[in-house]
Each structure stands twice: as C-alpha cells, then as structure tokens.
C-alpha cells in the first residue's frame, strides 16, 4: 500500500515538473487541463503499481503450503510450490496420515504415467501462469480420485493463505480450498 502511494507521488512529481517547464498559459486554460492532468497522473500511478503487485504475487505464491481438507477441515498434506520457466508447479512433500494408514501410498486412481506412483513427490499443480494477482490456466490433480481439474490460485490474508479453486470448464462449477503457509 505504501509503495502504491509512493508511485502516485512520483507520478505526480513527474507530471508537475513537466508542466512547470512548459511556458505559462492562461489561468482558465490551466484550470481546464487540471482534470486531464489528474487522470494522466492516476493512470501512470496505476500502471506503475501493477508490476509491483504482480511481482509481490509472484513471490508470495512460492513456498510450502499445508493443504486443508475442505470437508473435514484437517490438514492433508504439505505442497511445495515452485516456479520454473515462468510457470508455477506444486509437488507433494508430506502427507498427514493416521499411524495405521500406509505412510507412502500410491496413486491407484490416477491414469497414465502417474498410475500406481507414490503420492509423495507427485506434482499435483501444473503449468499455472501469472495473471495479475492470481495464477491461472493450470491444472490440479486430486490423488484421491485421480481426476485432473482446471485451477486458479491466489494469495490471501497477506500471504498467510492460498485460495485454490479447482473446477471443470468454468470456475462456477468447482470447489475451493484454502491452504495455509507451512513455512
């Protein structure tokens, strides 16, 4: 927020200094130009702030996240989100399982090359691309049922939570989970 104010002030200083170097004009003409100058300054501040917000979103999404089961509210796993070639991916590092359960289960419901592979180490988030403050156009695999969904993720609550929206086709037909930062 402070950086956006700084950018707005910087844009105002640039606009003001440019008008100070111009020859004096009639006062009525200057008053008529004031709204246009204000719009230019505001637009410059917004444009300058957008890359800063995007850079923050880019950094904020990377890290370790504890997945929370949206049905039980209990932790399910820890996923490490990383960036590679400008895209974001997420790999399961740890599962929270009862002592009597298999501690390194296989993805028996998965299809293709992931069938019967260990869930720990599996990349479940793939190919997410940054779109301003969120990451879109990727996929998420649910190892419990072996299905792959379209996904959008965004950082919430100052970087403490990650909103993960998995869906089929359109975002309205889906499910949302909130993961918490594990770091």
Q: Does domain 63-181 have CATH number 2.40.30.60?
A: no
**Hey, where are the domains in the chain?**
2-60, 63-181
d(CA 180, CA 158): 11
pTM of the model: 0.69
| Cβ pair 58, 71 in contact under 8 A | no
Give residue 170's Cα distance to chain centre.
18
What are the per-10-residue average pLDDT scores of the chain (183 residues)? 37 39 52 55 47 53 93 94 96 96 96 96 97 95 96 95 93 90 87
Q: Which residues are paired to 139 by β-bridges?
A: 126, 150
Query: What is the pLDDT at residue 11?
Result: 39
Query: What is the pLDDT at residue 131?
Result: 93
- β-strands 161-167, 147-156 pairing: antiparallel
């Amino acid at each position: 927020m402070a950086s956006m104010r700084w950018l707005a002030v910087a844009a105002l200083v640039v606009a003001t200094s440019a008008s100070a170097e111009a020859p004096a004009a009639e006062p009525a003409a200057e008053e008529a130009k004031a709204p246009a100058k204000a719009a230019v300054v505001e637009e410059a501040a917004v444009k300058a702030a957008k890359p800063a917000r995007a850079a923050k979103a880019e950094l904020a999404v990377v890290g370790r996240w504890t997945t929370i089961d949206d049905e039980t509210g209990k932790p399910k796993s820890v996923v490490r989100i990383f960036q590679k070639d400008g895209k974001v991916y997420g790999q399961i590092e740890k599962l929270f399982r009862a002592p009597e359960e298999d501690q390194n289960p296989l993805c028996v419901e998965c299809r293709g090359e992931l069938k019967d592979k260990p869930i720990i180490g599996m990349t479940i988030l793939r190919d997410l691309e940054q779109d301003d403050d969120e990451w879109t156009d990727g996929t998420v695999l649910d190892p419990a049922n072996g299905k792959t969904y379209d996904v959008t993720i965004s950082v919430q609550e100052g970087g403490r939570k990650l909103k993960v929206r998995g869906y089929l086709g359109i975002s309205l037909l889906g499910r949302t989970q909130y993961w918490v930062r594990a770091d």
